[in-house]
Amino acid sequence: MKIDQDTIRKIAHLARLEFDENSAEKMSKDMSQILDWVEQLNEINTDSVEPLTTMSSEVNDLREDKLGEHLTHEEALKNAPKSDSDYFRVPKVLE
């Protein structure tokens, strides 16, 4: 697919690109090559190929949730440097 200079100027305007005529000619050639390559990809039969949802083939190894031992409220407060009745005391972070 050949891209003309008017199309290159329009794309450059939309993309807020500035370049001279020599660069525009090179850009036109490069974009035409890219579009030719995409057209080749469109010719490939992909009917039997499933779409990818991820590039990784790893499977998450999940474990079951198990109820275990936990600290009581009193044991947790006993380890705190400062506590106020039923709560931990921490330094003020906002003024």
Q: What is the pLDDT of residues 35-58, one digit of tens each?
A: 999 999 889 998 888 888 878 878
Q: Under a CB-based contact definition with an 8 Å cutoff, are residues 17 and 28 in contact?
A: no
- Reported pTM: 0.46
pLDDT tens across 7-19, in order?
888 988 999 988 8
Residue 14: predicted pLDDT? 93
**Predicted pLDDT at 34:** 92
User: Which residue, 8, 3, 76, is CA-closest to 39?
Assistant: 3
Mean pLDDT of the chain: 86
Q: What is the mean pLDDT of the segment spanning 76-90?
A: 85
For the chain, domain boundaries = 5-42
